[in-house]
Amino acid sequence: MTTSKVIYSGELRTKAEHLASKNTIITDAPTDNHGKGEAFSPTDLAATSLASCMLTVLGIYAQNHDIVMDGSHAEVTKIMSQEGPRRIVGINVDLVICSPRELTDHEKIALERVAKTCPVSLSLHPDLKQSIAIDYQLKA
């Protein structure tokens, strides 16, 4: 089954439609690559997908292990090559896992393993440096 349809709209912009849900995403080329930078760039989406995937699989794990992590979030920094062809050479993810209770060391180790082995992480080229920092916060 086809996942999405992407249409080039002109002026370095695309519109991607998720066929099952009909949700759409607009992308623009970044300002440092001839674009307007008015939306996520394709490489922004690739980097952001890593954090989204981590939070998704963490949510699945949390549901199955009676861990509440609502409000957990991540900040993503994409690092582009300065030499050679334009490509992502690094992604830094600062992940904050919020919980209404103190998590045990065992739970933290399991959550870190789950985050660092999400499908997007495992799909990225091994030369792409993934730097993942995890902070745990109590949230009432």
Q: Go through the domains of the chain in sequence order and give each one's CATH number.
A: 4-33 (no CATH), 42-138 (3.30.300.20)
Q: Is 137 helix (H, G, I), strand (E, B) or coil?
A: strand
Strand partners, 79: 90
pLDDT the model gives residue 7: 98
- Pick out the chain residues at pLDDT < 50: none
Distance CA 54, CA 119 (A): 8
Pairwise CA distance, residues 69 & 15, whole Å? 32
Angle between helices 105-116 and 42-64 (to 10 degrees): 140
The pLDDT score that the predictor gives to residue 140 is 78
Q: Is the separation of the CB atoms in 98 and 69 below 8 Å?
A: yes
The whole-model pTM stands at 0.94
CA–CA separation, 55 and 92 (whole Å): 14
